[in-house]
Amino acid sequence: MHGVRDILRIIVILSLLLGSLYGSDERQYPTLEEYFRQANADKEAVSITQVSRPPEKALSRSQKVILTNIAGAVVIGGWGYAQWGYFTQPFNRKKEGYLEKDTSNGGADKLGHLYSAYLITRLLAPLYEGWGYERNDAALYAALSSAFLTIGVMEFGDGTSPYGFSSEDVVMDSIGIGIGYLWHRYPALARMIDLRVEWVPDFSKLGKDTDFTTDYEHMKHLVAIKASGVAALSETPLKYAELHFGYFGRNFHDNGHPGDYHPIPVEETERYFYIAVGLNLSFILEPAIGGYSKVFNYYQMPYTYLPYNHRL
């Protein structure tokens, strides 16, 4: 009996102790149902917090433009060092002329500068517009980027090479930049007129001369006027045709590298102006290949036109 009484005393003492502990807390403890309701609410709050958490900060459009220009400068500088002899000479200048017969390429290199600056502007403008710039602003920033890459990097790079800095190149770059700017700002001009290059490589030199950018002996530069961009002709069968005005030089020297320059007598060199009627491939192929057909706004496919050549 004494054992039982002791056990009962212990139970009573523990009960009083626990009661005093809980009794001192005035909070209301939740029922099991209330506990699970609160747990679900907490879970939803965590989910909302996770969903509303801002994503990691992406590059701004201005940062993208800056990085694009840096990348372009690295590519041009690297190519110039490997192919054109950049940074191998003290800064020097040369007077090269324009389309004269006694120039190194009959002026084809000057049209190459114009076209390159135009192409860079035309490619960057829609890129910048896609990053959120208004059309006019995109055209302006693309023109400034093209000026930086062609005049600021390429021409001053030429000044540290055997080619030398040429003010004539700067003039042609500037013309190309201006045309590219206007063509993007006023789309009606771009729909009607293209600046293009045609290049048919000399396959016997593939692997020997890796600088295709100065292979003027196998290039033609031209302006193409597209009937599809002329309102009066856009609904007629002529919309598939275009008119070309082009220029090219031949037999000037073996290649465009000053170190390998082999002058040819002026009387043996050839310069040609030509007029041609061609096929508007960008318009004809658009239903089949979509936006890829725009390549032919910049590259002239050989053997898709009928030319009349006039030797100058």
Residue 2 maps to a domain: no
Residue 51 maps to a domain: no
Residue 31 maps to a domain: no
Residue 192 maps to a domain: yes
Residue 68 maps to a domain: yes
* Distant-in-sequence, close-in-space partners of 135: CB < 8 Å, separation ≥ 6: 129, 184, 185
pTM for this predicted structure: 0.78
Residue 305 maps to a domain: yes
- Looking at residue 46, its pLDDT comes to 52
Residue 18 maps to a domain: no
Residue 37 maps to a domain: no
- Looking at residue 37, its pLDDT comes to 64
Q: Which domain holds residue 114?
A: 61-311
Say how many domains are in the chain: 1
Could you tell me which of 167, 163, 173, 190 has the C-alpha nearest to residue 258?
163
- The Cα 97–Cα 282 span in angstroms is 34
* Distant-in-sequence, close-in-space partners of 267: CB < 8 Å, separation ≥ 6: none
Percent helix, percent strand, percent coil in the chain, to nearest 5: 55, 15, 30
pLDDT, averaged per 10 consecutive residues of the chain (312 residues), comes to 48 47 48 58 56 70 96 95 91 88 86 96 97 96 97 93 92 97 97 96 71 88 97 94 96 56 70 97 95 96 97 92
